[in-house]
Structure 1
Amino acid sequence: MDFNSHTDGVIKVAVGLVNSLTPGERRGRPAPPPADVAAAATEGLRVGYPEHRPATEAEAAELVEVALRLRAVFAAVAAGDLDTAALRINALLVETDARPMLQRHDGEPWHLHFHGPGGAMAGDWAASCATGLALVLGSEFADRLGVCTAPHCDRVYVDVSRNGTRRFCSTPCQNRVKTAAFRARSKSL
């Protein structure tokens, strides 16, 4: 999306956590809660930060709760209910006591972090993801957050096409919908 590299990474983590830790349907198949929550949490974190350290079982359990709350934000945006999405993000910002802090670490230049006072992984990521999503919701890019519209898929996504027209989480989901429409038209002829 090119907000800035750190904000983009945080938004990718929000998407990754929701898609890897919350149950539902994915690409036409049931998606139960992950069997290995720590591995799924690590996978979600690495969507935005490929070198992120592995999450522990305890951290992963807390990240599941964060992911469920973030999913509700994406669902509200997809339903066109920006008021509910904003209220949910505001609640998360208050609960995490998200506050901006410039930090420099791991050989990186100064960049903005949003952490709560506790310093726990889930709380820090909840604060960061809530802040990143608040930046998106409070801008002209709010319509770029979505939930796949393909039948039997509820993966969340961020439309990076710059035109806000994406409706599917992936090309396979888009192709499933196009193929079904083509078959329906062919049968009616």
Structure 2
Amino acid sequence: MVFAHDTEMSLLAAATLVNSACDPDTLETLEELDAFYAEFEYAGRRDHDQAELDAVRRLRPALRELLTSDRDRAVELVNAMLLEGRALPQLMRHDSWDWHLHAVSQDAPLATRILIETAMAMIDVIRADEMSRLGLCADDTCGGVVLDLSRNRSRRFCSTSCGNRNAVAAYRARQAADTPA
């Protein structure tokens, strides 16, 4: 584990949310938002309506900018997000989670909680000077965000699909090079 569990989950959620905008869009329905909410173990208020889905979808460009910016720009973005969200960090314990940080009320809209929890997670990334753990997918046709939590910092693709597609292409290129003309 590179970061605390809550930090890793917030970063994974943010990367997944940003990458949900890639073609095809994987966050178009309330059911898909419910699955995202459950997968990343969010707690607190849920409105279960189109307005909530739209608000979460509107976060994607801001989170993409945050996750792909340099360290100085990330600091500016984090500070602005925390100020706008009126963040007040507090230790909380709920569900299966032991003590961890939340910076807004559990009554705040889901989009606000996602934004602030991502900003809080980025504080750890920035302070540890680990911005290199974030980047863009090595697949030239993708553009997804990569969060590399591996020990050896070897993750290059945003998904298994991109990694497999590139491995197959490399295999075929090697096979073509080995085939006499």
* Pair 1:49 & 2:38 matched: no
Query: Which residue does 1:10 correspond to in 2?
Result: 10
Report the CA distance between 1:121 and its aligned residue.
1.9
Summarize the alignment of residues 51-70 of structure 1 with structure 2, pairs less than 5 Å apart: 55-70=48-63
Following the alignment from structure 1 to structure 2, what is the Cα–Cα distance between the partners of residues 54 and 48? 17
What secondary structure sits across from 1:135 in the alignment?
A: helix
* Residues 36-83 of structure 1: per-residue CA shift (max 9 Å, x gap): 2x233333333321888684322221111222210122233xxxx333
Gaps of 5+ in 1: 25-29
* Pair 1:167 & 2:156 matched: yes
Following the alignment from structure 1 to structure 2, what is the Cα–Cα distance between the partners of residues 104 and 180? 47
Report the CA distance between 1:128 and its aligned residue.
0.9
Let me know the Cα RMSD of the aligned residues.
2.9
Summarize the alignment of residues 1-189 of structure 1 with structure 2, pairs less than 5 Å apart: 1-20=1-20, 22=21, 24=22, 30-32=23-25, 34-36=27-29, 38-49=30-41, 55-76=48-69, 81-106=70-95, 108-115=97-104, 119-189=108-178
| 2:122 partner letter | L
| 2:125 partner letter | V
Which moves more between the two structures, 102-111 or 67-76? 102-111
Q: State the TM-score, normalizing by the size of structure 2.
A: 0.79
Q: State the TM-score, normalizing by the size of structure 1.
A: 0.76
The structure having more radius of gyration, on CA atoms, is 2
What secondary structure sits across from 1:7 in the alignment?
A: helix
Which moves more between the two structures, 109-118 or 150-159? 109-118
| 1:142 partner letter | M
Report the CA distance between 1:118 and its aligned residue.
7.2
Aligned length: 177
Gaps of 5+ in 2: none
Question: Does the 8 Å contact 1:15/1:44 carry over to 2?
Answer: no
Following the alignment from structure 2 to structure 1, what is the Cα–Cα distance between the partners of residues 67 and 49? 26
Tell me the percent identity.
32
| 1:46 partner letter | A
